[in-house]
């Protein structure tokens, strides 16, 4: 078992920090990389795993602390797994609304049965920047892409992601419900087990 009292999160996203801190619990304090640097590393990996490790190593190097990184996105079956690692910048960095519009356009006239998708989350934890054995935990959340946005909560592709076990979109779930079902929650359950957290 590894004992971490503090981890630096390789993200400037306050929503992600809050979500992951809630899932980790109070025994580990999660600090934002924003406390140490405002520079984002180039995500040059070709997979969620590569990008998560790259971000974790960068955060550990800058902060001198063990680092946790999350690389996540949406993989749509009909699109061969796209937008995948490019989910956040699918519409050339124009934000969530543009990303959603581009996805709907790409799936125009595609029947419901072929609109399967999954949110993917890879968490990578490194003890230090050159850690030869990063801890990798993956979570998948299966659903499908709706023909139109629905719901007010969440961010990113949540309004388009149909959650079969709740019969609603991800954006119609309360934050508490989402934190129990999501890809990030599933990856975090595995990470908590690896860290020996109750």
Residues with a catalytic annotation lie at 71
14 belongs to an annotated ligand binding site: yes
CA R_g for the chain: 17
At 88, list the tokens. Answer: 């956040």
Cα–Cα distance, 51 to 89 (Å, whole number): 14
178 belongs to an annotated ligand binding site: yes
63 belongs to an annotated ligand binding site: no
13 belongs to an annotated ligand binding site: yes
Cα–Cα distance, 105 to 103 (Å, whole number): 5
At 49, list the tokens. Answer: 């795993």
72 belongs to an annotated ligand binding site: yes
184 belongs to an annotated ligand binding site: yes
161 belongs to an annotated ligand binding site: no
For 19, 44, 71, 127, 160, the CA distances from 143, given in Å and listed in that order, are 21, 28, 19, 34, 10
| Annotation: binding site | 11-16, 42, 71-72, 155-158, 178, 183-184
**Binding site for Mg(2+): residue ranges?**
42, 71
Q: Which residues are annotated as a binding site for substrate?
A: 11-16, 72, 155-158, 178, 183-184
């Amino acid at each position: 078992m590894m004992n971490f009292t503090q981890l630096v999160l390789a993200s400037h996203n306050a929503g992600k920090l809050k979500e992951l801190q809630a899932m980790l619990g109070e025994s580990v304090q999660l600090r934002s990389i924003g406390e140490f640097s405002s520079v984002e590393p180039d995500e040059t990996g070709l997979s969620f795993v590569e990008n998560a490790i790259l971000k974790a190593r960068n955060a550990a190097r800058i902060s001198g602390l063990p680092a946790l990184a999350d690389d996540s996105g949406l993989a749509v079956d009909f699109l061969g797994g796209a937008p995948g690692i490019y989910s956040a910048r699918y519409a050339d960095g124009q934000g969530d609304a543009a990303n959603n519009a581009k996805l709907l356009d790409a799936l125009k006239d595609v029947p419901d049965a072929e609109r399967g998708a999954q949110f993917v989350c890879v968490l990578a934890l490194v003890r230090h920047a050159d850690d030869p054995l990063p801890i990798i935990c993956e979570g998948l959340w299966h659903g499908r892409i709706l023909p139109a946005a629905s719901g007010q909560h969440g961010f990113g592709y949540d309004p388009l992601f149909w959650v079969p076990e709740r019969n609603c979109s991800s954006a119609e779930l309360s934050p508490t419900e989402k934190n129990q079902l999501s890809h990030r929650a599933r990856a975090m359950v595995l990470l908590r087990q690896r860290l020996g957290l109750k």
